[in-house]
Structures are given as C-alpha cells and as structure tokens.
C-alpha cells in the first residue's frame, strides 16, 4: 500500500494564492488595512469591513501565542510523527499564524517563547512556514 501524502495547503481565495506563492518564494506576506491600519493573516476583507488591503512582507519574528501537542493520529500521513505540536505564533507585526515549532522538543516549547520563521519543504513539494526558537 502506498504511503499517504500529507495534504497540501488549500488555495480557496485570491489572498490564499498570494500568501502561498509568497511562502514558496520564502516571503511571509501579511495584509494591512488602508482604512484602519490593522495587519492580518491574508484575508479578503478587514474586520472593519474595508476590502482595501495592501500586502507587506513580515519580518518573520514573533512569539508562541499558544500550542498543543498531538499524541493521536488524525491523518494517516502523520502516523510516524506523533507526538507533534501545532502552535499559534503571534508575529511582531500582530497577526497570528497557525504553524509548527521545530528545532526543539515539544517539552521545551513555552508560551511567549521568541521564535523566527523557517521555510520547510515537505516531501509533497509544499513549502510550509514553521518556526524555531531564537
């Protein structure tokens, strides 16, 4: 039986396409609202309902906002990787990004821990933004 591949990132909106094309080029892109100035993970409209968003490159630094360690396999492609973590990292520019913390053990991850981005190319060809301790 062929091993299951991990799912690739979903491209649903034009904002998703721009974000993931940026990641493939090792650029972390976020959006800034032209009306209220709020930065966000790419979306089609600001929470103030203004659709006038502009792209900017984030520095790729932030801190662990929260995280969880999974011990159960929810997708067969991850069967050899438990336990693994899933974390929300808050970028220094403000937006939260769902990711994994690499470069340290799951027991060493702390909320508030400073981290920086690492671009990881998966076996399926997808480049994913992950973070490591600074």
Residues engaged in binding Zn ion (CB under 5 A): 33, 35-36, 38, 46, 48, 50
Nearest CA among 105, 99, 96 for reference residue 118: 99
Nearer to Zn ion, 38 or 61 (CB): 38
CB 21 within 8 A of CB 42: no
Nearer to Zn ion, 18 or 24 (CB): 18
State the minimum distance, in angstroms, from the CB of residue 50 to Zn ion: 5
Nearer to Zn ion, 48 or 134 (CB): 48
Nearer to Zn ion, 33 or 87 (CB): 33
Nearest CA among 89, 96, 95, 93 for reference residue 130: 89
Beta strand 61-70 with 84-91 is antiparallel
State the minimum distance, in angstroms, from the CB of residue 47 to Zn ion: 6
State the minimum distance, in angstroms, from the CB of residue 34 to Zn ion: 8
Determine the 3-state secondary structure of 16 from DSSP: helix
State the minimum distance, in angstroms, from the CB of residue 32 to Zn ion: 9
> What span, in angstroms and rounded, lies between the C-alpha atoms of 90 and 96?
4
CB 73 within 8 A of CB 82: yes
């Amino acid at each position: 039986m062929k091993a299951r591949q991990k799912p690739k990132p979903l491209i649903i909106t034009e904002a998703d396409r721009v974000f993931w094309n940026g990641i493939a080029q090792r650029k972390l892109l976020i959006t800034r609202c032209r009306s209220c100035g709020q930065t966000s993970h790419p979306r089609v409209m600001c929470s103030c309902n203004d659709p006038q968003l502009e792209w900017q490159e984030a520095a790729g630094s932030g801190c662990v906002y929260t995280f969880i360690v999974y011990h159960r396999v929810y997708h067969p492609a991850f069967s050899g990787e438990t336990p693994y973590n899933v974390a929300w990292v808050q970028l220094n520019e403000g937006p939260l990004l769902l990711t994994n913390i690499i470069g340290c053990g799951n027991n060493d991850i702390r909320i508030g821990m400073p981290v920086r981005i690492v671009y990881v190319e998966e076996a399926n060809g997808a480049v994913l933004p992950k973070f490591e301790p600074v």
